[in-house]
């Protein structure tokens, strides 16, 4: 059993593609799945839902995040909590690094 996991600089763990989106799972256990995303400016994740609650943190750049039809302009340091099954989308206005934490343990409750 892993007692802790450390990444000293998340921004160094992802390269932003020239024209696309890159995702990398950086941690997973029975309770959470943590994914680091790199978006080239102009890229997007179209509207979708997740079966579990999730937290989005913008680490770098500017993004438009649509949450249940409501648009929010977010930048580095922004934090969002989403309930399970909430429709959402992400559009990278600039190159963006985003951390997604999926609360997978909550799905069993």
* Average pLDDT value for residue range 77-101: 98
> Tens of pLDDT along 19-64?
999 999 999 999 999 999 999 999 999 999 999 999 999 999 999 9
Which is more confident, 1 or 109? Answer: 1
User: Which spans in the chain are helix H?
Assistant: none
- The model's confidence at residue 109, banded by pLDDT at 50, 70 and 90, is low
Q: Tell me the mean pLDDT in the region 13-17.
A: 93
Cα gap 98→100, rounded to integer Å: 6
**CATH hierarchy code of domain 27-108:** 2.60.120.10
* Nearest C-alpha neighbor of 35 from the set 46, 22, 47: 22
Rounded (10°) CA dihedral 107, 59, 90, 108: 0
Decide if 92 contacts 61 (C-beta within 8 A): yes
Average pLDDT, the chain: 94
The pTM of this model reads 0.92
């Amino acid at each position: 059993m892993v007692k802790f996991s450390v990444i000293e600089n998340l921004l160094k763990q992802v390269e932003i593609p020239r024209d696309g989106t890159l995702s990398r799972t950086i941690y997973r256990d029975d309770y959470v799945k943590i994914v680091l995303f790199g978006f080239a400016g102009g890229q997007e994740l179209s509207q979708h839902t997740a079966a579990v609650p999730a937290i989005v943190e913008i680490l770098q750049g500017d993004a438009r995040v649509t949450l249940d039809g409501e648009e929010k302009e977010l930048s580095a340091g922004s934090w969002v909590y989403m309930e399970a099954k909430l429709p959402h989308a992400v559009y990278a206005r600039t190159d963006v690094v985003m951390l997604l934490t999926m609360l997978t343990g909550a799905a069993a409750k």
